Structures are given as C-alpha cells and as structure tokens.
Structure 1
Amino acid sequence: MAQESVEKVFSNNRRFSIPKYQRDYAWKKKNLDELWEDLEEAKNASSDSMGHFLGTIVVAKEPNSDAYYIIDGQQRSTTIFMLRYALNAKTKDPAWNMNIFRDENKELRLQVSPANQEFFKAVLTQADNNKRDTSLKNRIETDGQKRLYEVFEAIWDYVGKLESTEAKEYLSVLDKMVLMWLEEKDSGRAIRTFQSVNDRGVPLLLLDKLKALLILYSNKYSNDNGTLDNEINERFGEIFKIATKIRKHKLSSSLGDREFAKEVETRVFNYHALGQADIGHYRYGAAESFKKIKELLKSKTKNPQELLEYIDTYSNDLLEFFKAFYRVMQRTETSAEAFKLLYILRINPLFYSSLVRLEMNGVLDDECLRLLAQAEVFFYGCYSTNDSRAYNLYEATDSKNSFRERIIQECKKCAKGDYSSVGDVLRDIARDNYNWGKYFRYLFFAYRCDDMDARAFNDLLSSDDEDDNGDSSKTMQPYDMEHIVPLNVVENEALERYGFDNANEFNAIKDDFGNLLVLESKLNRKIRDGGAQIKKEAYKDSKIPYNRNFANTLESFGKKRIIEENEKFTQWAREFFKDFLC
C-alpha cells in the first residue's frame, strides 16, 4: 500500500483493464464536477506539496501479463484517464506525451469493458479532433456507453475552451494529485482488500458487497488456484447485465414499489433470499438478508468443503434466479395471464419468490399464473393480510400439482376479513366492488375480456416520461372505475329513466359489479357525470373491446341489467374459484 501521484500511476508504462465481471461505468456529470472542483482547489493551493487526495485504486496483476486488473476504483480511474487525455490534447504538442496514453501498438493503456472499448476510443477521438461528435449518441448501446459520452461531454465543457498553456497547467496539477495504490498478487486477494475500502463517488451496490464477500471466503478457504473465484466473477458479471435488462424492461415500473427500477439488484437479491430457508424471512429487508448470509458463511468455516460447495451453489442459483426473473417479465409480452397478474393485479412482491421458482423449475404456465392471481385476491383482497402464507409458497414450487394443492389449501385457511370461508366471499363478490380497487380491475378483465390476447393487453400500455437515465418505460395507463348509471341520477331526478323506484334502491346497488366498468382515466374525465350519449361516445373510444361493444347496448341499461349482471358475475366467480370451495 502506498500513496502515488496520478502521474506515477498512469505514466509508468502500465496498462490497465477493467475485469469483465465488473459493473458498468456508472459515474455521472455530478461526479465529474466534483473531481474538477478538487482539481481547481489543488490548482489554487499555495503549495504543490499538499498531495491532494483523490481516492483509492485496488489492483491485481493479470496472469502472465504486465497489465493490471482494476478491482476497485474503475469509475475514478476511467474518469481521470479521460480528463488527462482531454487536457493533453489541448496542450501545444499532444503527440509528445501520447505514449502515456497508448502502448507500442497504439492501443489505449486503459481497456474498459469489451462491450464499451470501441465506443471509449471514439469518445476520446473527440479530443484528438478538438470537436464534439454528436453522432456518437446514435451509437450508444449500453448504460456504460451513455455515461462515458455524458461525462466526456462534461469534461470538454471544462477543457475545450482552455488555451494550451492553461491545459498544461491543469494537467501538471492533476498529475501531482494523489491516489492510494493497493496492489495484490491476484484478483481474489484484491477483492478482499476492496471490501474494506470506501469507494468515493458511486455507492457500492449490495451485490458488489455480496460478490466481494463470496470471493473473500472462497479465496481464503479454497486451494483451487482461483477457479471458484473466477466462477463467482463470471456469474456476477452476468447478473449485472441481466439487472440492466430488468431495469430497462417496460414492466419494471409496475413491479414492487416506485423504487424497484432504481434498486433492481437489491430487490431481486432479496426476492431470491425469500426462497432460502436459512436466509430469508417475509419481514426481512435486503440488508437483513445480507447479514444472514454473512452469518451463514461464517458458520460453515469449520467445514471448508461444505462452505465452498455452498458458495458455488448459492452464486449459481442467484444467477439462475435473475435469469428466470427476467423471463417472467418477458412472459407479459406473450401471455395474457402474465400481463393481468403483473400489470393489472400487481401482486404482492412476497409472491415473487414462488413465481420465479416455478419458472426456474420449468413448471410455470398460465394455470400457475392464474393460481397466484387467485391467491392474491383471497390473501389481500378481503381486507386482511397473509404475508407469511404468501412468502411460504416457495416451499411447494417443485411441481405444478404440489403448488396447486398448497395454494388452494392456503387460500381456504387464510384470514379473509369478516368472511369465514371462500364460499362466503363468493356470495358477496358482486357487492360494493367500487372499494376493491385493483382486485375489481383484475376480475373485470378476467370476466369481461377473456377473449383478449397478450397483444391486445399490451396495447393498453402507455409510455411514461423519460427517467433520469433517459430511459422510457411503459406501464398501464391510468384507469378509473366508471359508474355506468351516473352518480348524479338522484339529483337530476332521472331514477325512473333507469328503472329505479327511489334513491334507496339506487344507492343499494350503485357500486355493484354490474354497474361498473374499467375505463381509461382520460375518457372518464371527459364524461364526468354526463348522460348516456356522452358516455356512449367515450366507451366507443376505449381500447378495451368490451367497452366498445357495451356502448351499443347502453340505452337499455338500468336496474334490471345491473341485477342480471351481478348474478352472471357471481355464477362466473363460483366457477372461476371452484377449486377453492370447501
């Protein structure tokens, strides 16, 4: 361990590479702005000997090479390399110093991830040409490339306007700034060191810490010359790539809560932990699950072989879980049942572990998806919560039959608010649906729209505004529960027109299933409490086929139809939930 100047770190004929298992380049403009502030502060300091500290870099020698893997500090190192490259390009004779940026083969002395290397070269070429290349935006394929482009753009905002003497002065100051250099003889040991080092700038993800933890134990107790270390590295590299796909998928904004898309790695890690008897619990968050993994690893050190087998099995299972989670998301594009489950009903995340395990075990199909939806209705739709039952379903995911038997059994036994049985729930299932929220929406689509396929359901999605990363997602556009017979029918003295004798008669069934539709919010706002003709035109504009067909029968709608529809829906519900009846 030693303090070294930036110049010594990067100008000593060293070559660097970012291991492919590392997460992508993640710094943003604000991180570059902070680095530039440090540079300005050092430039204005009264003494060049202040040794302004920039952070830590943890490295390990590549096998059979004079190059170094950057185990920790890739964000800082990559940014410093770009900043030095840009400053050098603005000096009077940039070619004179080019050997500190390129080797004898004219390759850059810093190799970022293989997926980004060619783009990285193109970004730096802007400095060589002394002008921006906005066409690079059209070449961006990864999050890392997007960040590289944006950070270099911010660098050029500072550097592009400098005269050659100013650029040389800034470069000289930057070269005198200090990095803490920690070098280990192999990646495993370097990652163990990395565990105890704080990485300034972008906080470490929980999965970064988990990877380091697993390699720490693997490296300490294994004598396989790093074979398991490399397996763990490869697996986490794949996990990070899949996490990016999950975050970018249009379903991500409809999963979990509002923070899911920002915390994909942490959330999916915890959903996986929920299916691990020795780690997860329905009351645990990700931090507590991580703590349990640390305790479990420590407890297995008395038997190194068992410890290593566990690490191997666990890391591989985590990778397969991420893969299966993404496949489940993709099902919404081809399966109407998956769409209704995840977009419309938006089941409790405590079901995710069993949902993904079913996929991993090759038994997830439309029947299983429907069973999970039915369980959501009984576990949470009857004004009760059954978290432990939802969580424990993962125990029966080895086969469809065992899962089916378990979920039916749990639904029969679960708390159901004021109801004592499934039969009692179904007896009143058509009553007061307005307060059922998403459960009404799901049952409406299951009952009224059984002929809609996945493509038709996906047409119901709408694009959200772009997020902070410039990504756009799709989610269910806002839908309201629309009263077919308007709520102002009493004050408008129109009860007789709809077949009601008095206000009490109307109030008794106004919120029942038979008097409700699911309608796009924008259409519902146009209707307000309008009459039949206004409603008819709005229903015809709906993307929901049932609404368009129903519009043609609106003139004859009233009390009689509401009662008839309630009865039909109740009969359908008894058939839909027949396996759950005692």
Structure 2
Amino acid sequence: MQTGKKPFKNLVPGRDLFYVPKYQRNYSWDEKQRRELWEDLLESLDKTHYIGTFLIEDSDESDDGLYDEVGIIDGQQRLTTLLILLFELQEQLHAHGREEYAVDILDNYLVASDQQRLRLQEDDDAKFFKKYILEDVIDTEKSTQSSNPEAEYTLDTPSKRRLANTKSFFREKLEDAPPENTDYEDPVEFYTDLYSTIQNLDLLAYVVESRAEAARIFQTVNDRGKGLTDLEITKSYLMHRLALVTDDGPRDGKDDEEQRTEGLINIVQENFGEIYSNIEQITDTDVGSGLDEDQIQRYHFILWDANWTTSYDKRYYQNHLEYVKKAFATDNGDLAEEIIDYTNDLKRSFQRLRELVTLDGIDSTRIETRLENLYAVGRLGNFYPLLITAYDQYTRDLILESDFVRLLKKIETFIVRTYLIEQKAADTGRTRAYPLARQLYYNEPGKQAEDISPSSADDVIDKLADHVHNYCDDETLMDTLYDADVYSYYSDSNRKNELRYLLYAYELSLERARENIPFEVQKVVDNEDDRFTIEHVWPQTVSDEFPEHLHETINENSDRLGNLALMTIEDNAGNQNDPFEKKKAAFDESKFRMLNEIFENKEWNEATIDERERRILNVIQERWPDEVARRKEESPLSAFQED
C-alpha cells in the first residue's frame, strides 16, 4: 500500500489484511459518531466526501503468503464501523436478489480468500466481531451462519455492546430504506448508490514502517470521528516526544537508534494497552460507570505532579493535559526515562482503581466489606486519589491491612457525616482530601517533592478525623437529626437512598448478634426492583381510626427518624395508614429486625419514638464516630475545663 490520497475502494480491497494492534483501545464509537457518519453518507450520495486520515503500519506477510498483514494505528474506529455497515448492506442486497453487489462487497471488503479483511483485538472483540457482528461471513454460502447469533453471546463488555448497537443501528436504517429525507423510492437503488458512495469516500493514507514515524505523523493529522480524549492525546504526545528525543540522542548507528526508539515506544504502547483494558473493566461496573478515562487520569495527575495546587482560580487538576505536556516538553537528559516512569505509574493507577471497583484480587474480607459499604454510600469523587494511592501502597506492603481498613472506615465516616447527614455541597472537602492523597503518595520511599510534607497512613487518618469534627461533630449531628423532620430533610428522590443507608446501619446493629442480615446493603440502598420502602410507623396521613386528640401529635412526629423503618413491599401491602395495633399483627413474619423490634412494643407514642430515635442516633455515632470529640472527653483536662 502506498501513502497518499485515495478513495476507500483503494484502501481495503487488495493484498492487505487489517488488524487492530493490541495496544489500541477497543471499539469506542457510540450513538453520536455512528449517526454523524450515516448523515454524512446520506448528504454525499451524489458527491464525494472526505472521511479522514488513516495511519497504517506495514507488517509481515500472512501465514499463507498471499496477503500482507498491516496494523491500523489511526482510523480503526471508522474502518470497523464502515465494514459493519457494508456487512449489513450486503445482507440487504442479498435479500433483494442483487447477488452481484453482495458478492462484490464480500470479496473486496469483508473476506480475502478464507480470512476476514479486518481482525479486532484478541482480548474480547475478535471472536465476537467474527461470529456475532459479521456472522461468520467467511462462509459466503451462508450454510453455517447462525440464524440467531444474538442468542449465542453475552454483551458483557462496553465494546461488545457498542459493536452490537452499531450493527443494530445500521440494520434498522437499511431495513427502513429508502430514508424519508432522500429522493429515492426504490430501496435497491438506494443500496447500490450508497455502496458506490462508500467506495468513493476520499481519505488520506499514511503508510509507515516504524512506530517512531507513526508517532510523529499522528501528532500532525486531525481527523473526523470521535474526538480524542485527553488520555489518547497524552499517549500520542508521549510517543511523539520519544521519537524526537531518541533521534537527538547518542548514536551507535542508525539501526541501533531505530531499535532503541521502537523499544521505548513499544513500552508506552503496551502500557496504554493495559490502561485501555482497565478502563473497559472499570466503566463496566456500577461503581465505575460514572467515571471516564480523563477523570481517572486527573486523579493520577493530582498525585503525580509535584507542582499541583489546590488553587481554585487555576483549576489546575482540570487542565491536567496542559501540564502533563509541559512536564515533558524539555529534555534534560532523562526525558525518555521520565516518560516511561510516568506511563508505568499511570498504568498502575488505572490497574489499582480497576481492582478496587471490581474487587478483583482483593483477598481480605475486611477490606472487601469496607469497600462495599463505601460504594453503597457513594460520593467518592473527592477520595479516589486517596483510595488509589493507599490501596497501591497496601498491595506493596507499604501500608498494613489494619491501617488500610481504618482509612476506609474514616473515609466512610467523612462521607456519611459531611454529605449524607449535613448535606454539604459535593466539592466540600476536596481541597483537603486531595492534598492528603498527595502527602500519602509522597510518603513512599524514593519519592520526593518540594513543598509537600509526606504523611503516613496514621497521619492521614488523624487529619480526616479533624475534618469530620469540623464539618459535622456530634452536636451538629444531633441538631440535624434529633427531633427533626428527617423524612422531609431527605425528601429529594436522589436522597432517599441516603436515608435508607442510615436505617440499614441500624438494622445491621440489630442483626449483628445473629449474623443473619438477609438483605445486601447495595440492594437496599438502591431500592432494587422498587422492593424496599421507608415506612412511617405512625402514618403521614392520619385516618379517622385514630383518636382526634392524637392527630396533631402524630403529624408533629410522623417524619422523625424514630418513626421510620425499612420495609419490603411484601411487608407493606395495605398497611400504610393503619393504626399501630392493626399493623402489629401484619409484621410478625418480616425479615427486617427493626420491624420486629418496633412491634414488640405494646403501644406506639411520642415517648417510644423518642427512645428509638436516640438508639438509632447512638448507632450512627458509634458506627461513624466523631473521634476528636471523644478524645476531648477522655482528656485528663476535660473534667477541669468543665469545672
């Protein structure tokens, strides 16, 4: 294949088989990108359209010696998408009896002899792409193609789901052809013109023989398609810098220099290949679904950059890409080593976060339980850098398991008291949590940074305790939750899960002796299948069955914490507004221990509500303690100060 401008029909057909190198990310196009491509094609049915730049790396001959295998370094998302569209297009042409077109697509774009023209990465996409997306297209007679390929596969990764969605999108568009916004009446005429348009798409192909050359070119091209993320730009920039700096280094000969460059770039590519794999797994969990790769890179940047600042005006952690580039813009003689160190460290952060959110490889029940509790609470954005560096140090025996568990407990205490109970803004404590993460990160032997005072795990835990006390001490907690309209305080639908979590903590304290709590915390907090409700023992709506003199008292106390309980829909059927005596008979079989406790009372009144509320608040204070207040109470000077 030659470098230059050419139509799409001169890129794919021929002696080349394309593969996506293992260091590239998996398929990432979503609704926006495939819709834009479709609309571009419709607008270009009677004209040419530029599809962008394709960067190709020459490789070796395939096993049969008939074809050359080439790696597609830039353009793999567009090429994959176009081939999915062409597969669906040949299916429609086949169904409409236009075999000559269907066979032409198969022979030139999808199949080369007995091989696919495009092979995706081996980790999770290759077999799926072959069997599900292209439906064993190598069998051109369709005799062994599955009639229902969907039934054979689980869409268990984000990339598989994206591939499947792209296939469905184009299939639906083609089945509904011709599109309403075109002048076509005959679908076959539309299909054949669409095929011609795809064949004649303009593109610019760069064919390179080395990764160093590819790195240099990638920095200069600008394509349509899904915009590059900051992480992808970082990868490209670092490879480009390696290509430049090694060209300026000492030479023992051209071959040695090229080999050195290729080796360094290969390390960067392999590191980013692992990073992309970790991203797929992180974002495929409930915990990590709200994260993206640029956020995670920012978390790492906060730890790694010795000059990072909490200055709000600069928003330094938000424009991390600018400062990453600056860090490697100048070669002081060690630039290649610094780039490799950075990518190694970045890879490790992504790996640690993946292990944290998937619980993969965590062999401590105590740690796993604490993490599950943290994930049920949520609100972790300010603490991811601290979690990443603390867990990393734990895995390398720099932090004891007991200390890591204590740290997890303290983070949970901070979140519960600050965000759940006091309902502070989401950015509250950010400028305190991030520096704590950095102080722990630079406490590792061998790491140094000016203006950073390293802190041990004990130091960090103590400082978090101080912040807990400052944001929500015991007095503040009682002012917020005791004898208050707590149900209305958590009235926002997004906050009902927080109230369920507080009540779950009380349920756990009742079940601890039996060690038989029947409900998982995440299911209760998330109200899985709308099964878990928050019940008012005294009802919110007072019926005529209650004595009239109690109506005002019930209205004043019904939304108090002591009057609230967790309940399943099975428990709650038809009993919401009944008096206590009628409800009592209905809850004998409840799996919630707190309901059993409530209905052990002979009657329900303001005094029993108050007594129960104090027990719940005592559990909350014990589970998420204000340790600073406790230390003050235990101080030998405390009695003297009170006098």
Shorter chain as denominator, the TM-score bin is: 0.7 to 0.9
The Cα offsets for residues 350-409 of structure 1, whole Å up to 9 and x where unpaired, read as: 11211222221224654332111112244444465333222222123669x933443333
Match of 1:468 in 2: none
- Aligned pairs (5 A) from 1:48-127: 51-62=48-59, 66-84=68-86, 86-87=89-90, 90-92=98-100, 100-101=108-109, 106-114=114-122, 115-122=124-131, 123-125=133-135
Deviation at 1:15, TM superposition (A): 2.7
* CA–CA separation in structure 1 for the residues paired with 2:272 and 2:517: 34
Could you tell which deviates more after superposition, 60-69 or 198-207?
A: 60-69
Match of 2:241 in 1: 217
Asked whether the equivalents of residues 386 and 415 of structure 1 are also in contact (C-alpha less than 8 Å), the reply is: no
SS in 1 for 2:304: coil
Match of 1:358 in 2: 390
- With over 3 angstroms needed to count, the CA separation of the structure-2 counterparts of 1:270 and 1:129, relative to structure 1, is farther
Asked whether the equivalents of residues 189 and 219 of structure 1 are also in contact (C-alpha less than 8 Å), the reply is: yes
Asked whether the equivalents of residues 184 and 190 of structure 1 are also in contact (C-alpha less than 8 Å), the reply is: yes
Q: What is the aligned-residue identity percentage?
A: 22
SS in 2 for 1:389: helix
SS in 2 for 1:3: strand
Deviation at 1:231, TM superposition (A): 1.9
Letter in 2 for 1:24: N
- Aligned pairs (5 A) from 1:307-318: 307-318=335-346
- With over 3 angstroms needed to count, the CA separation of the structure-2 counterparts of 1:511 and 1:116, relative to structure 1, is closer
Letter in 2 for 1:316: N
Asked whether the equivalents of residues 246 and 326 of structure 1 are also in contact (C-alpha less than 8 Å), the reply is: yes
SS in 2 for 1:278: coil
- With over 3 angstroms needed to count, the CA separation of the structure-2 counterparts of 1:148 and 1:416, relative to structure 1, is closer
Asked whether the equivalents of residues 515 and 562 of structure 1 are also in contact (C-alpha less than 8 Å), the reply is: yes
The answer on 1:558 being equivalent to 2:605 is: yes
Asked whether the equivalents of residues 505 and 619 of structure 2 are also in contact (C-alpha less than 8 Å), the reply is: no
The counterpart of 1:198, out of the listed 196, 208, 222, is 222
Asked whether the equivalents of residues 23 and 237 of structure 1 are also in contact (C-alpha less than 8 Å), the reply is: yes
- With over 3 angstroms needed to count, the CA separation of the structure-2 counterparts of 1:279 and 1:311, relative to structure 1, is farther
- With over 3 angstroms needed to count, the CA separation of the structure-2 counterparts of 1:293 and 1:563, relative to structure 1, is same
The counterpart of 1:303, out of the listed 332, 355, 372, is 332
The Cα offsets for residues 141-168 of structure 1, whole Å up to 9 and x where unpaired, read as: 5444444444345555677899999866
Letter in 2 for 1:392: P
Letter in 2 for 1:124: L
Match of 2:565 in 1: 517
* CA–CA separation in structure 2 for the residues paired with 1:409 and 1:199: 48
Asked whether the equivalents of residues 55 and 74 of structure 2 are also in contact (C-alpha less than 8 Å), the reply is: yes
Deviation at 1:341, TM superposition (A): 2.0
* CA–CA separation in structure 2 for the residues paired with 1:327 and 1:378: 27
- With over 3 angstroms needed to count, the CA separation of the structure-2 counterparts of 1:24 and 1:124, relative to structure 1, is same
* CA–CA separation in structure 2 for the residues paired with 1:165 and 1:483: 66
The Cα offsets for residues 521-546 of structure 1, whole Å up to 9 and x where unpaired, read as: 99779655442256557866866x33
The answer on 1:386 being equivalent to 2:429 is: yes
Match of 2:153 in 1: 139
The counterpart of 1:4, out of the listed 3, 6, 9, is 6
- Aligned pairs (5 A) from 1:27-426: 27=29, 31-32=33-34, 34-45=36-47, 51-62=48-59, 66-84=68-86, 86-87=89-90, 90-92=98-100, 100-101=108-109, 106-114=114-122, 115-122=124-131, 123-125=133-135, 128-129=140-141, 133-141=147-155, 142-155=157-170, 170-222=194-246, 224-252=260-288, 260=290, 263-278=291-306, 283=312, 284=315, 287-298=318-329, 301-305=330-334, 307-331=335-359, 335-343=368-376, 345-362=377-394, 363=399, 365-380=404-419, 381-382=421-422, 385-394=428-437, 395-396=439-440, 402-412=456-466, 416=470, 422=473, 424-425=475-476
Asked whether the equivalents of residues 221 and 304 of structure 1 are also in contact (C-alpha less than 8 Å), the reply is: no
- With over 3 angstroms needed to count, the CA separation of the structure-2 counterparts of 1:181 and 1:326, relative to structure 1, is same
The Cα offsets for residues 539-568 of structure 1, whole Å up to 9 and x where unpaired, read as: 66866x333423532543323323333444
SS in 1 for 2:379: coil
Letter in 1 for 2:429: N
Letter in 1 for 2:465: C
**Normalised by the size of structure 2, how large is the TM-score?**
0.71
* CA–CA separation in structure 1 for the residues paired with 2:279 and 2:193: 42
- With over 3 angstroms needed to count, the CA separation of the structure-2 counterparts of 1:314 and 1:528, relative to structure 1, is farther
* CA–CA separation in structure 1 for the residues paired with 2:407 and 2:392: 13
Letter in 2 for 1:367: R
The Cα offsets for residues 485-537 of structure 1, whole Å up to 9 and x where unpaired, read as: 3455699864877xxxx958984x66554333345699779655442256557
* CA–CA separation in structure 2 for the residues paired with 1:504 and 1:233: 69
- With over 3 angstroms needed to count, the CA separation of the structure-2 counterparts of 1:549 and 1:79, relative to structure 1, is same
SS in 1 for 2:565: strand
* CA–CA separation in structure 2 for the residues paired with 1:31 and 1:565: 56
SS in 2 for 1:226: helix
Unaligned segments of structure 2, at least 5 residues: 63-67, 178-185, 247-256, 445-454, 633-643
* CA–CA separation in structure 2 for the residues paired with 1:42 and 1:29: 20
Asked whether the equivalents of residues 429 and 570 of structure 1 are also in contact (C-alpha less than 8 Å), the reply is: no
Letter in 1 for 2:211: S
Asked whether the equivalents of residues 538 and 563 of structure 2 are also in contact (C-alpha less than 8 Å), the reply is: yes
The counterpart of 1:485, out of the listed 538, 552, 555, is 538
Asked whether the equivalents of residues 59 and 69 of structure 2 are also in contact (C-alpha less than 8 Å), the reply is: yes
* CA–CA separation in structure 2 for the residues paired with 1:414 and 1:265: 30
The Cα offsets for residues 10-39 of structure 1, whole Å up to 9 and x where unpaired, read as: 234223221112222233576556545544
CA RMSD in angstroms comes to: 4.4
Asked whether the equivalents of residues 6 and 204 of structure 2 are also in contact (C-alpha less than 8 Å), the reply is: yes
- With over 3 angstroms needed to count, the CA separation of the structure-2 counterparts of 1:455 and 1:558, relative to structure 1, is closer
**Normalised by the size of structure 1, how large is the TM-score?**
0.77
